[in-house]
Amino acid sequence: MLLCIIFSLTFSINERLNYGGFYGPLRVGSSFMEIKEGKLNEEPVYIIQSLQKTEGIFSWFFGIDDYYCSYVDTASFSSIRFIKDIKEGKYKKKSTLNFTQDSVHYSSGKRTKKIPGAKDIFASLYWMRNLSFSSGDTLRIPFHSSGKNHEMLVPISGPYWIKVPMGKFETYLLTPGVEGGRIFGSSDPIKIWVSLDSTHLPVKIKSNLSFGSISFVLESREIGEERK
């Protein structure tokens, strides 16, 4: 089935999604993703922020405190700037990527060629939410990560019913992956269950790590005035 791009946003700006993080049946952390309007160098952008953080006993032997911020072009949803500040156990890394017309400039001084329409992981996720797709489709997204350009392939399957703290949803399963690359620290495709309606609300996200898998399940959604 052919994919149809929806040029008007299907989800709300100033939306915040709150998640609980689980390792098996154990709650081990929390996360949020939010999108809002802003400006970068006096130009209008969408700003996507996310934080994943462990809590309680789990933090004693493998603490995670990861922050991401993506500045996105309002017309193409291509990345303009991507900031990540990662603290996972003893591993720490902070970097800023600036996307120009044909290059990606890293705060370390590294510079790589940019493919047209290149997106970071969060720009990719929100771009996928704004597409019309069905089970059996495969999305193809120009993707940049860790100094390399990829074509992210996202097979769609389903529908599946998923129950999370926010409620019960009928969903499609998206499994984004890149050849020879890593997404959220995992060499395996992450799994994202999104609602069947036009907002494609990310209901559950599961990522495989070196010690097992962590699932983030949707607990609440705040929009506009609700966030005050």
149-177 tens-digit pLDDT? 999 999 999 999 999 999 999 999 999 98
Mean pLDDT of 198-213: 86
> How far is residue 152's CA from residue 122's CA, in Å, rounded to a whole number?
13
Overall domain count for the chain: 1
What 8-state DSSP symbol labels residue 224?
G
Is the model's pTM score more than 0.95? Answer: no
Check if the beta carbon of residue 98 is closer than 8 Å to that of residue 83. no
Residue 224 above 70 pLDDT? yes
Tell me what pLDDT residue 67 has.
96
Mean pLDDT of 20-33: 92
Report how far apart, in Å, the C-alpha atoms of 24 and of each of 144, 176, 220 are: 31, 22, 20
Q: For the ranges 104-118, 137-151, 205-219, which has the lowest average pLDDT?
A: 205-219
Mean pLDDT of 109-137: 94
Mean pLDDT of 125-129: 94
Q: Which residues contact 63 (CB under 8 A, 6 or more apart)?
A: 54, 87, 88, 89
Write out the H or E segment, with its range, that includes residue 59.
helix 58-61
Write out the H or E segment, with its range, that includes residue 225.
none
Tell me what pLDDT residue 225 has.
58
Whichever domain contains 47, its CATH number is: 2.50.20
Tell me what pLDDT residue 211 has.
67
Residue 216: band (very low, low, confident or very high) from pLDDT cuts 50, 70, 90: very high
Domain assignment of residue 175, given as a range = 4-227
Mean pLDDT of 25-37: 93
| Between residues 208 and 96, the one the model is more confident about | 96
Mean pLDDT of 11-26: 91
Residue 31 identity (one-letter amino acid): S
Q: What is the mean pLDDT of the chain?
A: 88
Check if the beta carbon of residue 115 is closer than 8 Å to that of residue 149. yes
> How far is residue 58's CA from residue 27's CA, in Å, rounded to a whole number?
9
> Cα torsion for 17, 22, 28, 32, to the nearest 10°?
-10
